[in-house]
Chains A and B, each alone.
Chain A
Amino acid sequence: MTASLTGSMASWVPLMPLLLVAIGGFALLVVDALSDEHAELATLSSVVLFCAGALAAVLATGKGLVPPPSGVAPYLAVGQMSQFWNATICCGAGLSALLAGGYLHEHALERGEFYALIVFSAFGAMVLAAATDLLSIFIGLETMSLGVYSMVAYRRGSPRAAEGGLKYFLLGSFAAAVLLFGSALIYGATGHTDLAGIGQSVRDGHANLRLLILGMLMLLSGLTFKVSAVPFHMWTPDAYEGAVTPATTFMSVVVKTAAFAVLLRVILTCFSDELSASLRTGWPGMLAPMAAATMILGNFAAARQANVKRMLAYSSIAHAGYILVGVVTLYSGDEQVRQTAVSGVMFYLLAYTVSNVLAFGSLIALGSYAKEAVSYEDLAGAGRRHPLAALPFVLGVLSLMGFPPTAGFLGKWYVFSAAIASGNDLLWLVIVGVLSSVVGAYYYLRVIVYLFMKSPEPGAAIAVPMRSGYVVLALVLSGYFVLKMGVTPAPYIDLALSAASKLG
């Protein structure tokens, strides 16, 4: 075993992003134990994550990408696609760490372990996104989730946080159990735990069909729980609302990205044969209605919220629905359409990451100690009083709304155009998607309405923006990418396409 792990030094390069994050996590723990100043932990953790992300982004182009040590190969894929996911995850996690640096300090919640939790969770997410074996899927999933559970319940004194954390933990464990049960059934049906082996056996028709179908449904249910698709979305609003806002940001972008990454990989490697990818008999028959329900329910529920954080929670459910449209498109037999769909989902998740960070970050920026911005009323007139703090929020909601020329528009355009290119079967799903996004436009517009067009009630508490270099940096970075991906999308599209062309 050790002999196979020691290849040439160069063969470790594709693993560097993962290792960097893992080592960075341990370093954080050591630094936290030895020092009593916390603020530099935010710097350290975000630097680690951004370095790993930048390295992964370079590797995602295919430059310097050599085969990894042979012992890694059956468990983790570290090709272009994994590197793209690594880059997206590190980007989301690094931005969340920056937000935490401002938020925790302002609200007197600063404790060192939060940053270690972010970094280790990000590590779990990267493992999950790269996993090519049912075992590594589970390990990655649990590493990621344990960190997130504790992040949700981080504000120890708050009953809301405890409620959200407990709900997420119980339901999450249940979902993990379902996933594990599904994995066991799939192993029973095919005799394999590695995804490639499962795929081979499914294509050859050697698998025990009943066990396989049940196992597949349970596996997919476990994964769609993590992306908070309807009907597995119940935990989302409570967990999102109870968590401290940087943790919410982390959950909404990193966990979703990793879960979609593994969902794509499982579907592409195991269940892309004609029978299981058929709209009538296979998983698309389950995911297509789920996507429609997720878009409709997510958007309508978000429109009813009075709490902005909760609105963003439901809106993240709706976004999971749009991305699921891209996943369902993988039913297509046309290789080119499939590639468009995969790269569309990748582009969407990257765009969604920066847009959502922008929205949550602006929400953080608009509040300060004991004057946190939570409801729409808190935002009333904030754009008039503090236009600079409100401007990123406008950009963020416009991007989430899918308004050109922002990253969010390109993402929707990409995913929906892939679905339409696959034929007329998904046209209904796209129409449901765009019409429900009009509902989305209503509640996102409401943010702008409150920021700029309303005045606070006389005597009502008003949110006061905080001052923090960390938050400003996070907003500037994500705002830059929201516009950059919207105005000159070509490099990002090409990166996603080239990463999507090789399933590694």
Chain B
Amino acid sequence: MSQHLISLLLALPLFAALVVLFTPRQMVGFIRGITVLAMLAELVASFGLLDGHYETAAMQFPERHVLVPTYGITYSVGVDGISLWLVLLTTFITPLATYASWTHIGTKVKEYAICLLMLEGAMLGAFFALDLFIFYVFWELMLVPMVLIIGIWGGVQRIYAAVKFFLFTMVGSVLMLVAILYLVAQYKAQTGHYSFELAELKLLLLPLKAQLWLFAAFALAFAIKVPMFPFHTWLPDAHVQAPTGGSVILAAVLLKLGTYGFLRFAMPLFPSGSHRMGPFIAGLAVTGIIYGAYCAWQQQDVKKLVAYSSVSHLGFVMLGIYSITSHGLSGSILQMVNHGISTGALFLLVGVIYERRHTRNLDEFGGLAKVMPAYAAVFVIVTMSSVGLPTTNGFIGEFMILAGAFMSAHLGISGPLCAFLGATGVILAAVYMLHAVLKMFWGPITKPENEGLPDLTRREGIALAPLLLLIFYIGLFPGRMLDSMKASVDTFASEYTNKLAQGDRHPTTRDILVVGPQTAALPQPASPLARLDAAPRKPAVRAVADVVAGGAP
């Protein structure tokens, strides 16, 4: 069973979606029940993933089936210390978001349930995929349910937001598709056969110029998804217009696919390109931290405030990733999970108040702590987690990221500067979050509408309790998570650094590429690396290499 665990996890939501599809739409209660049950079963099944050997960096629970032999497309999936926690975050947040937001969805419950289930399946697929083709399929597949969720069940300007979200993501992903095709064509030229598998493509050595372009295409797709400044403009629209359940999943999981994409694909595939653009990306990350925080501070709409805070928080994550230190990387992965928990909780809380008052304007509130004490308490705790107060989960992540950036050899002299500027982001976070808390909960009750507001209901309490628990659990005992990601993170960092050094030894492999047809005629060695060693024995290769080196042929 355990060797098919990942396929089971991918099939379960799809199967549940089919069941819902063939259920009469009048049976709303049954549809809601079966959806949440399926998601809970998914959560329980995903705990099985914890049973892997994460003390090594190898992929756990791997599965591999060739789909299209002619073009080397394989269904290749697996999980390691980097993706494990993001997968668990997905299976954890989705049922909560679904359960908590049912009351907001009055119409077309059936379609909503199908969208959520498909979305969960696609997100998990993207986290598990180890084949670029499969990854791209899942990556695109996530888009449709999310666009439908925003566009059908969203707010007043939902169509504008949905179309903007769709088009932004499309621009990035089609260019990534071109890059994938180019990469595979290079692999074919060097080895004589096709492969879309990450493990194979990672072995490819590419000239710096190609790496820069390919990295740029991948990075654009992922940066739009993260979203990094200045590609973030779709985010506030999408978040504000989406229904609560959609917002929670969008913030908690979907955005993580951008940062995860950098870690899993863009950086290991094109280390030299990534290295060259590293300072630039770190600069954008720091800009995003401060700009996002500033924008959040200026918002009157609580949901928009939380949306901009995401831009700021994910700036931290990107900064940690580009420190390429064990600390920074672990902190980033941890912070991805933290952001999922705290921002997910914030969106749920915003949904709670919106459902009662049908406004999210800060000026409409004030003194809510008196009428909704439990709500206020939860809100403040989540705020503390978001701000990064010690003993909450946010503190560990942000601290590790800033420490990583400070010590980073890759960022060099700009590392401490990035860390310093990033730290101001922490202060700004306290400013904008406490500003919102102040306006919402403290002071006298200015509006008569707020006087009779009911406190958290049992349903809302049940949805929020696990999140609160996790905020403190991760804050006090982060060791379990950090231990299991250590091996993968260290391997990531050392492979990245090694490949950079290797890239310097082979400044260009154009000589190999030019003689593609000849090398294709050779008997097949195990890997393209082996071919690199074998190739220069051929006289034709040497001649071309001379030309490349500037000598006469």
| Residues of A bordering B, CB below 8 Å | 334, 384, 387, 398, 403-405, 409, 413, 416-417, 420-421, 427, 430-431, 434-435, 437-438, 441-442, 445, 448-449, 452-454, 488-490, 493-494, 497
A383 to B343, CA, bound (A): 33
A498 to chain B, nearest CB (A): 10
Residue B477 CB within 8 A of the other chain:
no
Beyond A434-B177, A442-B163, is A493–B68 a contact (Cβ under 8 Å)?
yes
The reply to whether B167 and A442 contact each other, CB–CB distance below 8 Å, is yes
Interface residues of B in 182-241 (CB under 8 A from A): 182, 184-185, 188
Choose from B70, B163, B182 the contact partner of A445 (Cβ within 8 Å): B163
A419 to chain B, nearest CB (A): 8
Residue B140 CB within 8 A of the other chain:
yes
A352 to B151, CA, bound (A): 27
A270 to B167, CA, bound (A): 42
Residue B517 CB within 8 A of the other chain:
yes
Q: Which residues of A contact B108 (CB under 8 A)?
A: 384
Q: Which residues of B contact A434 (CB under 8 A)?
A: 174-175, 177-178
Residue B156 CB within 8 A of the other chain:
no
Looking at chain B's contact residues, the main secondary structure is helix
B143 to chain A, nearest CB (A): 8
The reply to whether A494 and B70 contact each other, CB–CB distance below 8 Å, is yes
B23 to chain A, nearest CB (A): 13
Q: Which residues of A contact B178 (CB under 8 A)?
A: 416, 420, 427, 430-431, 434
The reply to whether A493 and B175 contact each other, CB–CB distance below 8 Å, is no
What are 25 A-B residue pairs whose CB atoms fall within 8 Å in the complex? A403-B144, A404-B141, A413-B181, A417-B181, A420-B178, A420-B181, A420-B182, A420-B185, A421-B181, A421-B188, A430-B181, A431-B178, A434-B177, A434-B178, A437-B174, A438-B171, A438-B174, A441-B170, A442-B167, A448-B148, A448-B151, A453-B158, A453-B159, A488-B67, A493-B71
Residue B137 CB within 8 A of the other chain:
yes
A448 to chain B, nearest CB (A): 8
| Max chain A C-beta neighbours (<10 A), residue from B108, B166, B170 | B170
Residue B84 CB within 8 A of the other chain:
no
Given contacts A404-B140, A488-B67, A493-B70, 7 further A-B contacts (CB under 8 A): A334-B517, A387-B111, A404-B141, A416-B178, A417-B185, A441-B166, A445-B147
Looking at chain A's contact residues, the main secondary structure is helix
Beyond A417-B181, A441-B167, is A453–B151 a contact (Cβ under 8 Å)?
yes
Residue of A nearest to B168 (CB): A438
Q: Which residues of A contact B166 (CB under 8 A)?
A: 441, 445
Number of B residues with CB within 8 Å of any CB on chain A: 34
The reply to whether B175 and A431 contact each other, CB–CB distance below 8 Å, is yes
A193 to B213, CA, bound (A): 47
Residue B162 CB within 8 A of the other chain:
yes
A387 to B170, CA, bound (A): 26
The reply to whether B159 and A427 contact each other, CB–CB distance below 8 Å, is no
Residue B136 CB within 8 A of the other chain:
yes
Q: Which residues of B contact A420 (CB under 8 A)?
A: 178, 181-182, 185
Residue of B nearest to A438 (CB): B170
Q: Which residues of A contact B70 (CB under 8 A)?
A: 490, 493-494, 497
Residue of B nearest to A401 (CB): B170
Residue B69 CB within 8 A of the other chain:
yes
Q: Which residues of B contact A421 (CB under 8 A)?
A: 181, 185, 188
The reply to whether A454 and B159 contact each other, CB–CB distance below 8 Å, is yes
A494 to B108, CA, bound (A): 42
The reply to whether B137 and A435 contact each other, CB–CB distance below 8 Å, is no
A452 to B147, CA, bound (A): 11
A355 to B460, CA, bound (A): 45
